[in-house]
Amino acid sequence: MSTLLSEIQIETSLAELDNWQYGNKKINKVFAFDSYMESIDFINSVAQKAEEVNHHPDLTVGYCKINIEITSHDLGGVTTGCIELAKSIESIK
């Protein structure tokens, strides 16, 4: 079960990840790609991983860029599950 993290715990966890940011009770990162189809392939991989762990990020598709925001809507902030999902997403790219 995921537990809600304090701001200090979130910042410490994000220090281990590349370019993830914290704000407004969520963590986010923008991923850039060389082509639009690369970004779509990536988002499909993220969707599959999210479905596997039953933790679904907000995804915004732009031209060759994907913005990912992760929060726990149930618990109202960033949880251990959010950090784990971010780590999983990092391993995709």
Over the stretch 17-36, which tens digit does the pLDDT of each residue have? 999 999 999 999 999 999 99
At 2 the pLDDT is 87
* Average pLDDT of the chain to the nearest whole number: 96
pTM > 0.75 = yes
Q: Using one digit for the tens of pLDDT, what is the confidence trace for 36-80?
A: 999 999 999 999 999 999 999 999 999 999 999 999 989 999 999
Angle at 69 between CA 11 and CA 88, to 5 degrees: 75
Question: What is the SS3 assignment for 43?
Answer: helix
Per-residue pLDDT for 1 more than 90?
no
